[in-house]
A and B are shown apart, each in its own frame.
Chain A
Amino acid sequence: MADAPTDEDKVLIRDFLDGHVHGVVVEDDEDLFASGLVNSLFAVQLVMWVERTYGLRASGEDLDFANFRSIDAIAGFVARKKALVGGDA
């Protein structure tokens, strides 16, 4: 499936998060913000990191909490964006 999240992406995302959660182990489906692991201003850094890392621009309906809530959600979002950019890749 073209838009399935990859383990490689999840590793990248986890590496980025590790620098901000002070050694806490984060589950793939754990809500990053509701559990208090990071504060809301971190969302801005997270969106910008995703854009920079994957060379994409998040705008309009991309900027939905559902796309950034957890490692799974971010990986899914990245996969969908890649699929759009890559067409039938």
Chain B
Amino acid sequence: MTTRTTTVRLPLEPALPVELAQELSQRVYFVSDTITGFSLVRSADGITAVDVDVDTETAVDPAGLARRINLMTANDLIGQRITEPKVVWRAAGSGPVTDAFDELVARGGAVEAGEGLIGVGEPVLSLMDHLDSLLRALVVEEFGAREYRYPTLVSADVLRRTGYFESFPQMVMSVSRLHGDIDSYRGFLDALADGGDLQEALSAHSGGFDHCLPPTMCFHTYHQFADGPLPAPSMVVTARGKSFRNESRYRRSLERLWDFTIREIVFLGTPEFVLDARGRLMERAYELVDALGLGGRCEVAGDPFFLNDTTAARAWSQRLLELKYELRLPLDGERDVSVGSFNYHEQFFGRSFGIGGAKGEPVFTGCAGFGLERFAYAFLCRHGLDPAHWPDAVRTAVAP
């Protein structure tokens, strides 16, 4: 079966400044899931259009797509101010960096299981565990962090309280189940009989959208301390767990997954405590990256807020106030990936979860998350798949 696509030009009115290319690019696939590819059209006036590929097996609606993409640019992008890139740490690392993904797949170290879904074998598996153990030891030593292991599911009400639906509706992954009723189970099985369409049968007989897959671990922590005073003036909590985001067609190798593993560290307390702890963790992370023989940089970054009334203002105030930093490591001569982020939330979660600080005010929070698949992947792109070429300490710890 061949899939036919056609390219449609969607004019942007008004044109966007070229500095917003990245902000635009990271939202195009979320404009409509009928878009299967795209490129930006640039002229002296800026970005004047987006050429999108659409599947001709679905009804192609250029006017409708143009309306949708302009709705997004008007809401999310036009009000943004462009801040200068700001790098706060940089290290060169040694030797060339070569994308290791294809070799990893060829050797069975990564197994493609579906869209944005990748299983990992050795050496990724042991390397992820080793990197996680280094991060865990580091935060226990530096902060006396308390560790928790949370359930994978998060209640939809908890996710609502985080504001995630309003900020990132495009990334939500919900969990449903069949209606809890014998007639429903029978109706479902009847619908499947004789090769009935599975999606139709599930849609007709499912209900109960009261759970979601967590997009990050820290939401569990705010819920844990919700509606009461924080048990101590300040706290540091760490957890490792599976996190899920609908990355749509932005999925790519181990670089961007729908389903991945985070080592998270959450800081709760006064603003001085949270900001100081975030800074200390960043310093420790740089030391770790150095010790692993990895080069990279840490820079001011932003989140892909989408379609909210305050998206543009939140996006550029986040960058202006340096609420988010990303630790980025190279994957080859050109591309890099964020293996960790260090975030300050002010009182956003303290307020929404009713967590009281020392004086009864909503507590201040911050968090850091390390993507373990990405971290291991960046390590392999730098040092290769053969443990003989790895730093001694890692080889000794990981060697099968």
Contacts and interface: CB of A to CB of B under 8 A. Distances in A.
B364 to A, nearest CB: 6
Contact of B84 (A33, A43, A63, A68): A63
B162 interface: no
Q: Which of B275, B313, B320 has the most CB of A within 10 A?
A: B320
Interface string B243-272: 000000000000000000000000000011
Contact of B82 (A40, A43, A44, A59): A59
A29 B322 CA distance: 19
A53 interface: no
A43 to B, nearest CB: 4
A86 interface: no
A47 B320 contact: yes
Given A34-B272, A34-B275, A40 B323 contact: yes
Contacts of B321: 33, 40, 43, 65
Contacts of A39: 346-348
Nearest to B323: A40
Nearest to B346: A39
B325 interface: no
Contacts of A87: none
A19 interface: no
Contact of A60 (B84, B272, B310, B318): B84
Contact of A68 (B86, B272, B320, B323): B320
Interface string B262-303: 000000000110010000000000000000000000000000
Interface in A24-74: 33-36, 39-41, 43-44, 47, 58-61, 63-65, 68
Contact of A63 (B83, B275, B313, B361): B83
Contacts of B364: 36
A41 B313 contact: yes
A47 B81 contact: yes
Interface in B293-349: 310, 313-314, 316-323, 346-348
Interface in B49-100: 81-84, 86
Interface residues of B, number: 24
Nearest to A58: B81
Contacts of B314: 40-41
Interface in B361-386: 361, 364
Nearest to A39: B346
B322 A65 contact: yes
Contacts of A65: 320-322
B346 A36 contact: yes
A27 to B, nearest CB: 15
A70 to B, nearest CB: 13
A43 B80 CA distance: 13
Q: Which of A40, A47, A59, A68 has the most CB of B within 10 A?
A: A40
B356 to A, nearest CB: 14
Interface in B169-187: none
Q: Which of B83, B323, B361 has the most CB of A within 10 A?
A: B83
A59 B348 CA distance: 27
A44 B271 contact: no
A40 B346 contact: yes
Contacts of A63: 81-84, 316, 319-320
Nearest to B81: A63
A63 to B, nearest CB: 4
Instruction: List 5 tightest A-B contacts by C-beta distance, closest first.
Output: A43-B317, A44-B313, A63-B83, A40-B317, A40-B321
23 contacts: A33-B346, A36-B361, A36-B364, A39-B347, A39-B348, A40-B321, A40-B346, A41-B310, A41-B314, A41-B317, A43-B320, A44-B313, A58-B81, A59-B82, A60-B82, A60-B84, A63-B81, A63-B320, A64-B83, A64-B84, A65-B320, A65-B322, A68-B320
Given A36-B271, A63-B83, A65-B320, 13 more contacts: A33-B346, A36-B364, A39-B346, A39-B347, A39-B348, A40-B318, A40-B321, A43-B317, A44-B313, A47-B81, A59-B81, A63-B81, A63-B82
